[in-house]
């Protein structure tokens, strides 16, 4: 009798496991977006790849074995990678993991060698797809609200950002949200300006800590209601992470209005002192997939791209065949980093169309910008462009980018610029 019960229990467990494995992920996700039904996967750790970077490829969720804990996909999810050569997914590197990259802070190898030697297992920056110190990979990214108003230009530290997101604020001016996976190496960052509710919503989509100097009433309401991690220059003790430097741009003085900065050193010093979680736990890890060459197949020519935010405000991108990247100039002039006068280089451009409207009754003309839902757009890489779709069912989930047929979009390894523009504004390609 006892043995029969044991057999029955074992059979029941096997049936439960098989049913769980074969149950489609889509049945557990209460959304009607095709891309989520086609490409959603879940994992809980940073990505370890073998020293062959080409081993990384998007997860194929048609194979049930590639999905981890699908029942928790609704609340705790990110799109992960399936790794070749048996490379593990796990919260820590293998026991034999011994970093030999001279850039690693605790490396004991000969520091005189200029060659960067990666270990057998490496981690990838989830914002760029490039190799990165695994200790940095586990950190939450930092999203800094940076002024793009003419009196504040040029910006500081923008060339060190992994992702730069440009969107409108009131008065037809645009503002940047600069995302750093490793803010410690960014140098001076500024000028830092106030947050909007949609910039906070975008920061949340990356599981990022938002950094700003103040915010609109709508931003503070959204941050409180969503419990978004926020470091605010105007909020008491947080001010220790910031400085006011009217001489932040060599050769001229800026007004106090455009003088708020932080530095990689200040951020590294003070962030651990604040009541904010710095490491990822079940945050979405990344919704971006990368390949060595992201040039879209059958794409049309995009050697020069003009993106309009308003009739007067536009950004122009020019492709450099030698570097394989785009440089940017704005209607205000060249887009450079005041720290070293360099021009930021972008491997990928994502141009997203969405609804933009004035908030009723707002005396300053502040905006509502749609960051949840779905829309159309363009992906630009390698001198070519294609039309794409973007999806985000609710504020707890990241943006997903897809081809028009619903298949997942892959980006080239490197930095990315994202423009969020009104539906009625033009984009031109040459």
Tens of pLDDT, residue by residue over 297-314, are 999 999 999 999 999 999
Q: What is the mean pLDDT of residues 115-130?
A: 68
Question: Are residue 263 and residue 334 in the same domain, yes or no?
Answer: no
Does 12 or 289 have the greater pLDDT score?
289
Beta strands in 74-173 (DSSP E): 81-83, 121-124, 131-132, 142-147, 163-168
Q: Which of 40-49, 223-232, 328-337 has the lowest mean pLDDT?
A: 40-49
124 in a structural domain: no
Q: How far apart are CA 58 and CA 38, in angstroms?
A: 12
The total of other beta-carbon atoms located within 10 Å of residue 122's CB is 24
pLDDT band at 56 (very low <50, low <70, confident <90, very high): very low
Q: 40 with 25: CB under 8 angstroms?
A: yes
Q: Which of 16-25, 96-105, 115-124, 254-263 has the lowest mean pLDDT?
A: 96-105
Q: 149 with 142: CB under 8 angstroms?
A: no
229 in a structural domain: yes
Q: How far apart are CA 122 and CA 55, in angstroms?
A: 12
Instruction: Report pLDDT for 97.
Output: 31
Locate 319 and state its tokens. Answer: 């492709």
The residue length of the chain stands at 430
Instruction: Report pLDDT for 22.
Output: 36
31 in a structural domain: no
Q: Is the pLDDT of residue 347 over 80?
A: yes
Please choose, from the candidates 53, 40, 126, the residue with its C-alpha nearest in 3D space to the C-alpha of residue 87. Answer: 53
Q: How far apart are CA 262 and CA 211, in angstroms?
A: 10
Instruction: Report pLDDT for 102.
Output: 30
Q: Which of 6-20, 53-67, 220-234 has the lowest mean pLDDT?
A: 53-67
Q: Which of 2-16, 112-126, 229-243, 254-268 has the lowest mean pLDDT?
A: 2-16
Please choose, from the candidates 253, 245, 264, the residue with its C-alpha nearest in 3D space to the C-alpha of residue 144. Answer: 264
* Cis check: omega of the bond before 154, within 30 degrees of 0: yes
168 in a structural domain: yes
DSSP 269-313: HHGGGSSS--B-SSS---S-EEES--PPTTPEE-SEEEEESSSS-
Question: Are residue 268 and residue 338 in the same domain, yes or no?
Answer: no
Instruction: Report pLDDT for 322.
Output: 96
Instruction: Decide which of 273, 305, 327 is a domain's last residue.
Output: 273
Instruction: Report pLDDT for 286.
Output: 66
Q: Is the pLDDT of residue 18 over 70?
A: no
Instruction: Report pLDDT for 254.
Output: 81
Instruction: Decide which of 242, 273, 304 is a domain's last residue.
Output: 273
306 in a structural domain: yes
Q: Is the pLDDT of residue 104 over 70?
A: no
Q: What is the mean pLDDT of residues 102-117?
A: 34
Instruction: Report pLDDT for 333.
Output: 80
Instruction: Report pLDDT for 282.
Output: 53
Q: Is the pLDDT of residue 366 over 60?
A: yes
5 in a structural domain: no
Question: Are residue 296 and residue 237 in the same domain, yes or no?
Answer: no
| Strand pairing category for 209-212 and 142-147 | parallel
Q: How far apart are CA 334 and CA 355, in angstroms?
A: 28
Phi/psi of residue 315, each to 5°?
-125, 135
Question: Are residue 321 and residue 410 in the same domain, yes or no?
Answer: yes
Instruction: Report pLDDT for 257.
Output: 80
Question: Are residue 376 and residue 412 in the same domain, yes or no?
Answer: yes
Question: Are residue 301 and residue 216 in the same domain, yes or no?
Answer: no
Q: How far apart are CA 211 and CA 299, in angstroms?
A: 37
Does 273 or 64 have the greater pLDDT score?
273
Question: Are residue 245 and residue 325 in the same domain, yes or no?
Answer: no
Please choose, from the candidates 372, 290, 285, 291, the residue with its C-alpha nearest in 3D space to the C-alpha of residue 68. Answer: 285
Q: How far apart are CA 173 and CA 47, in angstroms?
A: 38
Q: Assign residue 222 a region: left if phi > 0, alpha if psi is -120 to 50, beta otherwise?
A: alpha
Residue with tokens 């020293």: 51
Question: Are residue 394 and residue 263 in the same domain, yes or no?
Answer: no
Q: 109 with 154: CB under 8 angstroms?
A: no
Question: Are residue 313 and residue 246 in the same domain, yes or no?
Answer: no
Question: Are residue 348 and residue 380 in the same domain, yes or no?
Answer: yes
- Domain interval for residue 338: 289-429
Q: How far apart are CA 47 and CA 36, in angstroms?
A: 21
Instruction: Report pLDDT for 195.
Output: 98
Reduce the DSSP state of residue 354 to 3 states and report it. Answer: strand
Does 198 or 36 have the greater pLDDT score?
198
Beta strands in 38-170 (DSSP E): 48-50, 56-58, 81-83, 121-124, 131-132, 142-147, 163-168
Question: Are residue 268 and residue 317 in the same domain, yes or no?
Answer: no
Q: 421 with 309: CB under 8 angstroms?
A: yes
Q: Assign residue 34 a region: left if phi > 0, alpha if psi is -120 to 50, beta otherwise?
A: alpha
Tens of pLDDT, residue by residue over 141-173, are 999 999 999 989 999 999 999 999 999 999 999
Instruction: Report pLDDT for 397.
Output: 87
Q: How many domains does the chain have?
A: 2
Q: Is the pLDDT of residue 87 over 50?
A: no
Q: Is the pLDDT of residue 271 over 50?
A: yes
194 in a structural domain: yes
CATH number of the CATH domain containing 348:
3.50.90.10
Q: Is the pLDDT of residue 356 over 50?
A: yes
**What is the percent of the chain with per-residue pLDDT over 70, rounded to a whole number?**
70
Q: Is the pLDDT of residue 99 over 90?
A: no
Question: Are residue 383 and residue 349 in the same domain, yes or no?
Answer: yes
Helix (H) or strand (E) holding 265: helix 264-270
Q: What is the mean pLDDT of residues 294-298?
A: 96
Greatest mean pLDDT range, 27-31, 69-73, 392-396: 392-396
Instruction: Decide which of 273, 305, 335 is a domain's last residue.
Output: 273
**pTM of the predicted structure, to 2 decimals:** 0.76
56 in a structural domain: no
| Strand pairing category for 384-392 and 400-403 | antiparallel
């Amino acid at each position: 009798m006892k043995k029969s019960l044991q057999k029955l229990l074992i059979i029941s467990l096997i049936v439960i496991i098989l049913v769980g494995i074969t149950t489609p992920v889509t049945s557990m996700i209460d959304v009607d977006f095709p891309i989520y039904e086609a490409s959603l996967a879940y994992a809980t750790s940073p990505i370890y790849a073998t020293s062959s970077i080409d081993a990384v490829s998007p997860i194929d969720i048609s194979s049930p074995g590639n999905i981890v804990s699908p029942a928790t996909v609704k609340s705790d999810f990110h799109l992960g990678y399936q790794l070749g050569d048996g490379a593990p997914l796990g919260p820590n590197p293998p026991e034999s993991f011994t970093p030999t990259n001279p850039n690693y802070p605790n490396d004991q190898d000969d520091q005189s060698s200029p060659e960067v030697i990666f270990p057998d297992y490496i981690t990838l920056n989830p914002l760029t797809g490039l190799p990165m110190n695994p200790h940095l990979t586990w950190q939450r990214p930092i999203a800094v609200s940076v002024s793009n108003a003419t009196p504040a230009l040029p910006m500081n530290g923008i060339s060190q950002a992994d992702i730069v997101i440009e969107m409108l604020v009131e008065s037809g001016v645009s503002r940047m949200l600069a995302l750093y996976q490793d803010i410690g190496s960014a140098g001076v960052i500024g000028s830092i300006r106030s947050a909007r509710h949609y910039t906070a919503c975008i920061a949340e989509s990356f599981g990022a800590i938002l950094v700003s100097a103040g915010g609109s009433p709508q931003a503070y309401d959204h941050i409180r209601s969503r419990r978004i991690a926020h470091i605010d220059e105007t909020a008491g003790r947080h001010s220790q992470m910031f400085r006011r430097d009217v001489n932040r741009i060599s050769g001229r003085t800026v007004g106090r209005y455009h003088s708020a900065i932080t530095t990689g050193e200040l951020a590294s010093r003070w962030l651990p002192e604040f009541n904010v979680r710095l490491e990822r736990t079940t945050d979405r890890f990344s919704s971006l997939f990368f390949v060595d060459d992201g040039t879209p197949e059958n794409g049309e020519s995009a050697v020069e791209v003009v993106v309009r935010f308003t009739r007067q405000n536009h950004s122009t991108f020019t492709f450099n065949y030698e570097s394989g990247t785009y440089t940017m100039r704005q209607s205000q002039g060249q887009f450079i980093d005041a720290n070293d006068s360099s021009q930021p280089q972008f491997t990928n451009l994502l141009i997203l169309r969405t609804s933009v409207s004035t908030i009723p009754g707002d005396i300053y003309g502040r905006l509502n910008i749609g960051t949840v839902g779905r829309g159309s757009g363009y992906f630009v890489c390698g001198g070519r462009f294609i039309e794409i779709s973007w999806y985000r069912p609710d504020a707890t989930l990241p943006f997903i980018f897809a081809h028009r047929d619903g298949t997942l979009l892959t980006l080239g390894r490197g930095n990315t610029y994202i423009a969020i523009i009104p539906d009625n504004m033009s984009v031109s390609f040459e």
